[in-house]
Chain A
Amino acid sequence: MGLGSRIAGMALVCATLEAGGPAGWIPARWQGGPLEVRRRGGAAVSEITRDWYDSRTLDFLENTPINCLLVTWSAGAEAALEAEQRKLVTSYARAAHRRGIAVLGLLYPGADPGPAAAAARKAGLDGLVLDGDVQDPAKVAGELRKRCPVVIPLGRRDWLWPEADWPVWGTREAVRAGIRAVSDSDTVYATPTSEPWIESNTWLVRSLGAAGGGRPVWLGNVLENPSADGYVRAIADAAAGGGRWVVAPDDTLRAGLWRGQPEALATWRRVGAWLNFYEQHAEWRAFAPAAALGVIQDRAGKNSAVMDENLNQIARRRIPYRVIERRELTPAAIEGLPAVLAIGLAPPTERERGLLAAYAGAGRMVVYKQDPPGPEAFAKDLRDLIGSANLPVRLYDAASVLLQAGADPGGGRLVVQLVSYATEPPERILVRAAGDYRGARVFSPDAPPADLKTNTSAGTTDVLLGKLAVYAAVVFEK
């Protein structure tokens, strides 16, 4: 059975799912109930956590597009506690369904998959989520699927492989989007040319998106003491790559919502507005990456780990790239690119070798090395090799900003999504797009769209952006 037909078959099974099924789900962690209190060993806000499945918490979802809740379902606790939890969640799920909201049960390490899946089916849950360090996830997933067709992983990345039947490619192995603090001043400049160390997951979302054959990508990491900007940066960092961060309000925010505290309500409204923004611009996810480099990946290959770090570093060097799955390597997949990174092939087959040999030359490069060099220095070299003039988009004065660029199918619009990772926002960023564009607009979740003045010269179009707190998208139009 091919991958496509498996996905189609799965879609049929899930046809009755709430909110249109996994592709349309906008998820949030929504843990609560007595089992959650036990699991956490009695948190400071345990009363609110215990009572979280009061139906009034569903009101918090109004004005947000969140339509899929990940609720505490099973953790392998004593039978009475598990039963109490299930009873509570069953009732809550019915209330959620009445509002068109899907409910997925979280299975923590220790949960017994067979009974948990049977109970989930009986309770009418829309699926189950494997959260945390589950032993032998393939076996557990197989057991769960006998009774519950939708099982979503939120564990290690190595659970994911193209042949797996996960309807969503999810992982908890994501970083907190931001600048890595490596000194007491939160900034280290070790050399005259060093740049801040950006922690981002956008490369991971794009890598998983390509490997998963277009299945939704979820990042299930939980932020520690996030600020309002921290929440929306996590949303933006995943969304810029076409994925979704599983919104995870921490206990402080949940307590604030529960008590109606203005600051918490404002943060939550902002989270909702940002999620809405990305849904309003969902078409951008389908835009083809505007790329200077094709990166061939084979997640089952021997260089898979180093390729992950290569992608991370390539993104940090702001080299617009396109991820090409090894199984989808064709002349058409690399057409128009100035360079292809083929380390992921390790080693290439005769067919791949021939294809790349035919592509190379006439100013086009294939970069391959049996034993890959260190990714950080290698990404710098790649940028030098490609040359800044060959980049479809360049950013200036934006050391803490990463970009994702995509073009619409007609080629008339170029969308450049910018995420700022610094707590101190850049005041002024020059965005330079290759090509002559007659206009440009900036879009942001925090402000209405605005026209930008364009400056065109020597086959490039410049626009100047003002302060970038977290995210903006510049749409160039021909």
Chain B
Amino acid sequence: MHGNMTRRGLLAVSGLSLAAPAARAPAAPVSIGKCDGYGDGLAAVLGKQFDQIGGIGKLVGGKTVAIKLNLTGSSRLGSYSPGQTHWVHPNLVGTCCQLLARAGAKRIRLLEGAGRGESLEEKMLNGGWDVAALRAAAPVVELEDTNRVGGGKRYSRLKVARPYVYPAFDLNRAYEDTDVFLNLSKLKQHEECGITLTIKNSFGITPNSTYGDDAGVDEPNESWRRGREAILHYGKRQPPKSAPQEVDFTSERFEGHRVPRICVDLIAARPVDLAIIDGIECSTGGEGPWVKGFQYAKPGVLIVGSNPVCTDAVATAVMGYNPRAKRGETPFHRMTAAKPGELQWADNPMLLAEAVGIGIADLDLIDVRGVPIKDALYDFENRRKG
């Protein structure tokens, strides 16, 4: 099907197609499923949702599928496991692997940035995951820590056709060396950006070696120790010279401006083929327990779609928010009090993505299947405010 084209070539073509006007941004069906927990009924619900969006057999049959997980941070809220609050749940990951294998996927790669001094397996084990069970969920399940160059030996450069901040990114090769890219995120809020769904989950595909605060000036730092604030959040410095530099060094440095745009650049560079949002058990009040006011929540929903913007728009509505809300309107602002004089707005990443043709964020144009939004509604804002 791909002829002689390389994956890199395919990604570039896909990026070029995004140059179309915003009005022609694609829409795709999104399925909402209700699910009480991560037990036996999960596979049936998720399988039905895959069917509702048109099935996954054609997409994954005989292919390599890479899954970007959401395993942010390493701390936990009280006695809850991370999978119950701010990480995707391991049983959902395992179920997903089983269903992908059943649909014909030949190789599944689980991708996420591990913390300093640990492998991805160790990060999962520290979160209470049964990694052996996960590996056994499909014939070939591999783990790759994408905060480093890893097994690929060199980084892949993935380009952005209509960039906001970066014209391209240097990423772990696992993001290029795959036929299908699945983004598995958590239904939750975000302290600075308002929401954390598929688009925001793409922030984590950037390697700390290159985009971390202690990245080298000239080259990536494979022994990185720090997070991604100085370069990506605040633009206080540029990535190593070996990596693509910003389009405009004089642009706004405020993170509410930068982070949503960088996330949109990232889903343009590494397009999402399938998005799954885990809202069975999750949290309100922020992206992790380190945010003041973070609380456990149980909306009991799963949201599945093939277009990341449409999927996030539906998920935003399920959270009780307007997916077309503008900068500074709820939920697109800081959740915790800003210091006097500090800005506190954030841009809506779905509208930014829509503007560059990645997908539609208009509920009127999205075919929502399965459970209607009104029946899946879980009011994050009121619960956050308690």
Contact = CB atoms under 8 A, between A and B. Distances in A.
Interface of A: 187, 189-195, 380-381, 383-384, 387-388, 394, 396-397, 399, 424, 427-428, 430, 455
A190 B73 CA distance: 11
Interface string B102-116: 000000000000011
A193 B115 contact: yes
B76 A192 contact: no
Contacts of B127: 397
B156 interface: no
B117 A383 contact: yes
A193 B289 CA distance: 10
Interface string B46-85: 0000000000000000000000000011111011000000
A396 B125 contact: yes
- Residue from B227, B288, B290 with most neighbouring chain A CB atoms (10 Å): B290
A384 B75 contact: no
Nearest to A464: B130
Contact of B290 (A189, A394, A424, A428): A189
Given A383-B117, A384-B225, A190 B290 contact: yes
Contact of B223 (A192, A195, A384): A384
A424 B77 CA distance: 12
11 contacts: A189-B76, A191-B75, A192-B73, A193-B73, A380-B116, A384-B225, A388-B118, A397-B125, A397-B127, A399-B75, A424-B78
A409 B361 CA distance: 67
B150 interface: no
B128 A194 contact: no
Given A191-B75, A399-B126, 14 more contacts: A189-B76, A189-B288, A192-B72, A192-B73, A192-B290, A193-B74, A193-B75, A193-B115, A388-B118, A397-B125, A397-B127, A399-B75, A399-B76, A424-B78
A396 B122 contact: yes
Contacts of A383: 117
Contacts of A193: 73-75, 115
A contact face: mostly helix, strand, loop, or mixed: loop
Given A189-B75, A384-B225, A194 B116 contact: no
Interface residues of B, number: 24
A95 B126 CA distance: 53
A107 B21 CA distance: 87
A60 to B, nearest CB: 36
Q: Which 6 A-B pairs have the closest CB atoms?
A: A192-B73, A396-B125, A189-B75, A384-B117, A397-B128, A189-B290
A192 B79 contact: no
Nearest to B74: A193
Contact of A192 (B74, B118, B126, B128): B74
Nearest to A394: B122
Given A388-B122, A396-B122, A397-B126, A194 B132 contact: no
Contact of B227 (A187, A189, A192): A192
B200 to A, nearest CB: 14
Contacts of A455: 132
Nearest to B225: A384
A399 B313 CA distance: 36
Given A396-B126, A397-B125, A192 B117 contact: no
Contacts of A396: 122, 125-126
A168 to B, nearest CB: 39
B83 to A, nearest CB: 11
B125 to A, nearest CB: 4
A393 to B, nearest CB: 13
Nearest to A382: B117
Interface string B258-300: 0000000000000000000000000000001110000000000
B147 to A, nearest CB: 12
Contacts of A189: 75-76, 288-290
A388 B290 contact: no
